[in-house]
Structure 1
Amino acid sequence: LVAKLPYNLGVGGAMRLGYRYARDHDYDVAIQIDADGQHDPRYVPKLVDLLDDNDLVIGARFAGEGDYNVRGPRRWAMVMLSAVLSRVARTKLTDTTSGFRAANRRVIEMFASWYPAEYLGDTVETLVHTARRGFRIRQVPVAMRKRMAGTPSHSPAKAMVYLGRAFAVLTLALIRR
Structure 2
Amino acid sequence: MILPVVVYGHPVLRKVAEDITKDYEGLSQLIDDMKQTMYKAEGVGLAAPQIGLAIRLFVIDATPMEEDYPELKDFKKVFINAHVIETHGELVVESEGCLSLPGIREDVVRPSKVRIQYVDENFTPHDEVFEGFAARVIMHEYDHTEGKMFVDHLSPLKKKFIKGKLNNITKGNVDVSYRIKTATGK
Query: Structure 1 or 2: larger helix share?
Result: 1
Verify same fold: TM over 0.5.
no
- TM-score w.r.t. length of structure 1: 0.28
Higher normalized contact order (CA 8 Å, seq sep 6+, divided by chain length): 1
- TM-score w.r.t. length of structure 2: 0.27
Query: Structure 1 or 2: larger strand share?
Result: 2
